[in-house]
């Protein structure tokens, strides 16, 4: 390409470049705001005064997992090799079938409660002092779908308590064009569909608490238009890098 043609192309793009740079500057200024206003139910403290949670605090934050359809369980009966290391999948109706004791309703129970129910069955006819351990092998029934501008969109299991920020972290975090101020959570309650928009930047600044997400929620992370435009422009315009370097040298 001749020098004249290159200069003409650069001149025609200059307005677009200026607009893109201005948009990015506004985004940068907004994101660097020192606003640390806390929500009414939050105590804003300095990093040095931030308390360490106690064991009770950590235990209270763990929601017990409830078994659901198609989950896979590992079951061990102490003292019996034949009845140990058994992998059992919950059927669509929320039941499992196990040797000697038949079919058991497990949906809605914790793994510990499933073990206790099985012990009661064994105790009645087969084992004097049964000890049954039930562990979750694969979580299928309680999941959250995470999509949009995250690095690894997909379906992720919920074990215990999951918040919006931990859900996004499960999907390996933001992309380079994610909009942290436009994260939408879709939820169905009693056959009614709902959606709520969250500003995660505000959560990170302590303006309000990190909301909890639940099984079957769908989390969609939006994209920043100014960053998307700039990225698309860089991909479509290989000449932009020399222009930026040239502008840097002149300044």
111-143 pLDDT, tens digit per residue, is 999 999 999 999 977 888 899 999 999 988 889
193 and 114 within one domain? no
Query: Given this model, what pLDDT does residue 160 score?
Result: 80
For the entire predicted model, the pTM comes to 0.61
Position 108 in a domain? yes
Which class for 51: exposed (0-12), middle (13-18), buried (19 or more C-beta within 10 A)? exposed
**Number of structural domains, the chain?**
2
134 and 148 within one domain? no
148 and 45 within one domain? yes
Quote the domain boundaries for residue 169: 1-62+142-251
| End-to-end CA separation in angstroms for the chain | 27
28 and 150 within one domain? yes
Chain mean pLDDT for the chain: 77
- Cα–Cα distances in Å, from 166 out to 93, 95, 207, 211? 31, 31, 17, 10
Backbone angles phi, psi at 247, to 5 degrees: -65, -35
SS3 label, residue 170 = helix
193 near 186, Cβ under 8 Å?
yes
Where residue 129 sits, what CATH number does that domain have? 3.30.1950.10
Among the residue ranges 41-45, 122-126, 188-192, 203-207, the one predicted with the least confidence is 41-45
Position 67 in a domain? no
Q: Which of 106, 138, 170 is the last residue of a domain?
A: 138
Pairing outcome for strands 72-77 and 192-198: unpaired
131 and 159 within one domain? no
- For 26-45, what is the mean pLDDT? 48
Higher pLDDT, 243 or 186: 186
Backbone angles phi, psi at 95, to 5 degrees: -125, 160
119 and 32 within one domain? no
| Residues above pLDDT 70, as percent of the chain | 66
119 and 221 within one domain? no
């Amino acid at each position: 390409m001749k020098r004249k043609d290159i200069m003409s192309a650069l001149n025609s793009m200059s307005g677009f470049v200026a607009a893109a740079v201005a948009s990015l500057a506004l985004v940068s200024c907004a994101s660097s705001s020192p606003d640390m206003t806390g929500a009414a139910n939050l105590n804003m403290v300095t990093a040095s005064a931030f308390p360490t949670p106690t064991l009770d605090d950590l235990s209270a934050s763990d929601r017990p997992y409830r078994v659901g359809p198609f989950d896979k369980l590992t079951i061990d009966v102490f003292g019996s090799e034949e009845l140990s290391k058994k992998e059992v999948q919950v059927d669509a109706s929320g039941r499992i079938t196990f040797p000697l004791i038949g079919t058991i309703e497990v949906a809605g129970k914790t793994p510990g409660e499933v073990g206790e129910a099985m012990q009661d069955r064994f105790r009645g006819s087969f084992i004097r002092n049964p000890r049954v351990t039930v562990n979750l092998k694969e979580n299928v029934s309680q999941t959250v779908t995470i999509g949009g501008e995250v690095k690894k969109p997909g379906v992720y299991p919920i074990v215990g308590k999951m918040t919006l920020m931990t859900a996004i972290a499960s999907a390996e975090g933001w992309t380079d064009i994610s909009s942290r101020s436009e994260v939408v959570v879709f939820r169905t309650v009693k056959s009614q569909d709902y959606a709520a928009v969250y500003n995660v930047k505000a959560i990170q600044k302590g303006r309000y608490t990190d909301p909890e997400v639940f099984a079957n929620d769908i989390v969609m992370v939006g994209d920043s238009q100014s960053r998307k435009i700039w990225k698309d422009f860089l991909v479509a315009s290989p000449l932009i890098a020399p222009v930026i370097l040239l502008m840097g040298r002149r300044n």
